[in-house]
Structure 1
Amino acid sequence: MSARYAVHGPAAVITLDNPPVNGLGHATRRDVADGLVRAQDDPAVQAIVITGAGRAFSGGADIREFDTPQAMREPNLLSLILAIEASGKPVIAALHTVCMGGGLELALGCHYRVAAPGCQVALPEVKIGLIPGAGGTQRLPRVLGVEDALNMILSGEPVASERLAALPGQRLFDRLVEGDLMTAALAFAAEVAARRPLPLVRRLHGPSPERRRLFPVRPQHRHRDGPAVPGAAQVHRHGRRLGGAAVR
């Protein structure tokens, strides 16, 4: 199994378990999708927590599947994110250590996110000439604001969770957790289990715009010469015109 399923009281816990960084290969995506169905069908389960085993929540796509049919085989990452959004029970991402690329896009599809301090958060695709392909260019600006999100998207650089949590108006994290992450995540799951309607990032309009920066954006930090940079910016602009439909 590339993702484990367990029930702890009223919460189902789906644990990504695909070493070394819980890459979101086909088997992992399938196991998460199966866990979601299992949790929906269990009347005792009131909320779902997704976390990662070992030293990462998820580092994103499984590089072993690059340029293979497995990379887009159903459930592909976008299909999985849409299934999470459609869950009738709240889905909470419990983030630690590394949350990058498709792992961050998966977390952005969850209804809530709790994070441990020191979690490195990034959309690094631009560094290898790609753009985030599962909604990251649309959802991240909705929780961080356009400027801070574009800094991350166009640089590909990681930012620590505590730094992101300190941004005024941010809605990336619902809670920054001190102490044991899973204990806190399960307590948070119990707290939000009955809340309705379930929040969706794609319905947010983003924090009030402010002129702030996570870090100085110098040319060498923005990968200006990379082919993905104009594409990433264009996808973001197109998404802003389309609104929530852009992330479906």
Structure 2
Amino acid sequence: MRISLMTTCLVDVMAPDVARATVTVLERLGHEVVFDKRQTCCGQMHTNTGYYTEAAPVVRSFVDTFEPALETVDAIVMPSGSCAGCVRDQHQLVARHEGDAELEERAAAVSAKTYELSELLVDVLKVTDVGAYFPHSVTYHPTCHSMRVLKVGPRPVKLLRGVEGIEVKKLPESDACCGFGGTFSVKNDATSDAMVTDKADNVVSTGAEYVVAGDASCLMNIGGKLRRTDTSDAGPRVIHLAQILASTREEPFVPSETILGRAS
């Protein structure tokens, strides 16, 4: 298959290793990955906050970038449940709000080929074992958009259980939000902090070496709380699903000092 990668803003700026890991996994499976340098934001920050009019130009830019490739690529992949959820659930809503029927139709065509990473692997490529090796214990945090908007369900866990050497530990209250929510964490900082404190405590209680998720934003939030409450090297690290899947015996994952390396 020929797959177009949409990196997302946060991955591009804060966790580029996640984008590289996504490419590594897909190429290992024999697929061609292409990258359009014109891509920018999906508009999630605007749409989640209700600024549909302000989001419209961003949505139009996204569609202008990815629609022309629909005839030459089989899928668009995003290593983010929240951004994929925005494209699939909100782009057409924004166009409809602006009374732009043409944009709505074009957005629908793009969204139909857009997948979060675990969806692409399990549903489209029909794989749960990608040849990964990760001899560590992990606990999985299902992010809100992946769980409630995309409904990815057990797909990420199926992929994790297909990794050689891994131990997956159950996360208490796993379906509770980590408190990030984009602008929610800014506008409701006290509530957000209380939520991420509970999430971090639950992560630590598992004894896992890593907490894994499919969204860099949630990992940034959880990792920040872990860092502020435990500055030792013994605390859990945060890691993206793509990074685990990219790790092999020959090229094992090495935590970097990025936002998705040590909880730093």
Look at both structures and tell me which one has the larger radius of gyration over its CA atoms: 2
TM-score (norm 2): 0.28
Normalising by structure 1, report the TM-score: 0.29
Structure with the largest fraction of helix: 2
